[in-house]
A and B are shown apart, each in its own frame.
Chain A
Amino acid sequence: MSELVVKASKLTKVYKLFAEEIAAVNNVDLEIVSGEFVSIMGPSGSGKTTLLDMIGCLDAITSGQLEILGKDVSAMAESRLVKVRRGKIGFIFQDFSLIPTLTALENVQLASYFAGKSQKTQKMTVFLEKVGLGPRVNHLPKQLSGGEKQRVAIARALATEPKFLLADEPTGHLDTENSQEILNVFKQLNQEDNLTIIVTTHNQKLGSQTKRTIYLQDGKIVS
């Protein structure tokens, strides 16, 4: 039985830029069920990231309704949103966003620490091996390549054992080869662990390999 992971109806986010109001996301209706691998595509400024931030409970919504894992988060304050995020949503960023002072292993441990879960090295290593970063767990981010950093970031997202992953342009800073490898990791996680994954991307090749693609333009879903 597939669980409803995201349910958005008339989801809208309006930014005020001086006197002008810009609807970054405009009346979006969207449903994503567990086990899906969804890519959100669209040109720059189409609202991909804003939509992802709202789904990730990082950003407040302006109007409409948003349910995440069956919880209505539409009007939640940050102090309650953190409880929805923590341990349920895994984030992956374009620039990897690892903590530069911590090793690969420690970056993964940090996420479990914040989620209040076990930080046993053995368990953390399993996540790092899963993404193909076995031998370099004690390296600092600056000693890793872009592809390796993104693998650590994925392991960090997995460490909290989330219900779904959100990746914002995960291959934006990577070359073609590394991009494909990261995509393969996502595919593997989706197929083997039935993990729900939502990515935003410019990359047609990546988009074409996900199970479902949503196109956004001017904050609206066009297909």
Chain B
Amino acid sequence: MNVVTIACKNLKRKKIRSTLTIGGVAIAVAVLVSLLGFDRGYQQSLTGNIDKMGYQLLVTAKGCPYEAATMMLKGGGGLRYMEQDIYEKIQNDARIDKITPQLVSTAYDPDRLEGQGGFAMYMGITDSYLELKPWSKFKSGQWFSSEAAEEAIMGYEAAEVEQRLVGDKIFIPNIDKVLTVVGIFERSGTQDDGIIFLPLKTTQQIFSLPNKLTGVGIKLKDIQQVGEFEEDLYEEPGIQVISMAQVRGTILNLISSAKVMANSVAVIAIFIAVIGVVNTILMSIFERTREIGVMKAIGASAADIFKLIWTETILVCTAGGILGSIFALLGSGVVEHIIKKILPYAPSGQLVLIRPSLLFGAFVGAIILGIITGIYPAWRAASMRPVEAIRTGE
């Protein structure tokens, strides 16, 4: 017989009440763990996504939206083009390690997404594209046969959506062009998965954009030179320089207000759970007033009673913490799904990242919560005068 056994038996006495209270704590902990997991996961996948673009700087025409999501919002339009001369002018800069030109274009395909219609994204690239993305591997097929071949390489998801294999034909709506698929990339977990790649020259020709580019991706030899390099490019008219670090910051800023709100919800949930726990334990000690008096009569000291009630509270919170962590783990898929739907920019990859350290933190946090919330009810019970407790309960 020890204090934990007695406390457990007390909690089992009102099973529904104890279960509901533990459930309240569990939900609060689950919300908190999911949100913190999301915080971690989101930043990590975003950083991963941006790193996987392969370049630190993107030079685009002024006012050109690069982001695919933005393009979709604008109905596939809004793209601006810059002259290829700029690429030729800066490509020999000694600070540049790797550089690749790209031309993005979209076409509305009414048959896409099972007849709902949607935009297909095309990107004209050159050999240097793969140098910037050494991790890009072919799932099947190979690189374009020539610089102006009427061929396409499809991103993993694009190939899945269009259901194309190497050797199949692909039709570009609006401009009535048919290309041959020569390669399909493996899944990269980035935006590239949804893009159909064409040789740059072919793209310029079939979309009637001679000598135009939408962007130039640049990787410098020394990352420290980004600032200096950016400044030099400001002097070029008609272009803008986006550093990926900046993009990352902007996106994180965008979601920060949503995060603050979500975190407040979690804090409120914890607060409500705490009130629930205190309420339940207080109710249970008032019901057991006489019992507590009897325990004191048969030799329990105030400290014994304090320990007993404190243990009950800590057990409730700990059980809630464990259960909440399990909920969070099991529910992370659902949470991820919801977040991906509502967020303006959801990077691919795991968005809710629940590490063992986070679970351990939740566990310890729940115990601390129990320790703090248990103090008042335990003190109330411990300070009951035995004779009054016995006679009041009669």
Which residues of A line the B interface, CB within 8 A? 53, 56, 58-59, 78-79, 82-83, 85-87, 90-91, 93, 95, 97, 99-102, 106, 109-111, 113-115, 119, 156-157, 160
Contact = CB atoms under 8 A, between A and B. Distances in A.
B299 A78 contact: no
- Across the A-B interface, give the 8 residue pairs with the lowest CB-CB distance, nearest first: A114-B299, A86-B299, A101-B9, A59-B387, A58-B387, A97-B294, A109-B1, A114-B300
A115 B6 CA distance: 15
Contact of A110 (B12, B295, B387, B394): B295
Contact of A97 (B6, B290, B300, B301): B290
A78 to B, nearest CB: 6
Contacts of B89: none
Contacts, number: 69
B10 A110 contact: no
Contacts of A119: 1
16 contacts: A58-B387, A59-B386, A59-B387, A79-B301, A79-B302, A82-B299, A83-B301, A91-B294, A93-B294, A97-B390, A99-B291, A102-B9, A109-B1, A113-B2, A114-B298, A114-B299
Contacts of A109: 1
B298 A110 contact: yes
Contacts of A58: 296-297, 386-387, 390
A110 B29 CA distance: 34
Given A58-B390, A78-B385, A106-B1, A157 B298 contact: yes
B302 to A, nearest CB: 7
Given A53-B387, A101-B9, A101-B12, A91 B298 contact: yes
Contacts of A86: 299, 301
Interface in B360-394: 385-387, 390, 394
Contacts of B341: none
Contacts of A59: 386-387
Nearest to B12: A101
Contacts of B299: 82, 85-87, 111, 114-115, 160
Interface string B187-231: 000000000000000000000000000000000000000000000
B310 to A, nearest CB: 16
Contacts of B290: 97
A159 to B, nearest CB: 9
Contact of A111 (B291, B298, B394): B298
A100 B297 contact: no
Interface of B: 1-2, 6, 9-10, 12-13, 290-291, 294-302, 304, 385-387, 390, 394
B1 A110 contact: yes
A99 B9 CA distance: 10
Contacts of B296: 58, 82
Contacts of B386: 58-59, 78
A100 B386 CA distance: 19
A82 B295 contact: no
A198 to B, nearest CB: 14
A147 to B, nearest CB: 19
A101 B14 CA distance: 11
A192 to B, nearest CB: 23
Contacts of A85: 297, 299
Contacts of A93: 294, 390
A110 B295 CA distance: 9
Nearest to B388: A59
A97 B1 contact: no
A99 B298 CA distance: 12
Nearest to B386: A58
For B1, B291, B385, B394, which residue has the most chain A Cβ atoms within 10 angstroms? B1
Contacts of A90: 298
A198 B12 CA distance: 36
Given A82-B302, A114-B298, A114-B300, A101 B10 contact: yes
Contacts of B294: 91, 93, 97, 99
Most buried by B among A85, A87, A97, A156: A97
Nearest to B394: A95
A177 B381 CA distance: 38
A79 B394 CA distance: 24
A98 to B, nearest CB: 9
A62 to B, nearest CB: 13
B298 A156 contact: yes
A83 B9 CA distance: 27
Given A114-B298, A115-B299, A160-B298, 17 more contacts: A59-B386, A59-B387, A78-B302, A78-B385, A78-B386, A79-B301, A82-B296, A82-B301, A91-B294, A91-B298, A101-B12, A110-B1, A111-B298, A111-B299, A114-B304, A119-B1, A157-B298
A152 to B, nearest CB: 12
A210 to B, nearest CB: 22
B291 A113 contact: no
A71 B311 CA distance: 34
A58 B384 CA distance: 11
A58 B292 CA distance: 13
A81 B298 CA distance: 12
Nearest to A88: B299
B301 to A, nearest CB: 5
Contacts of B394: 95
Contacts of A100: 13
A97 B291 CA distance: 7
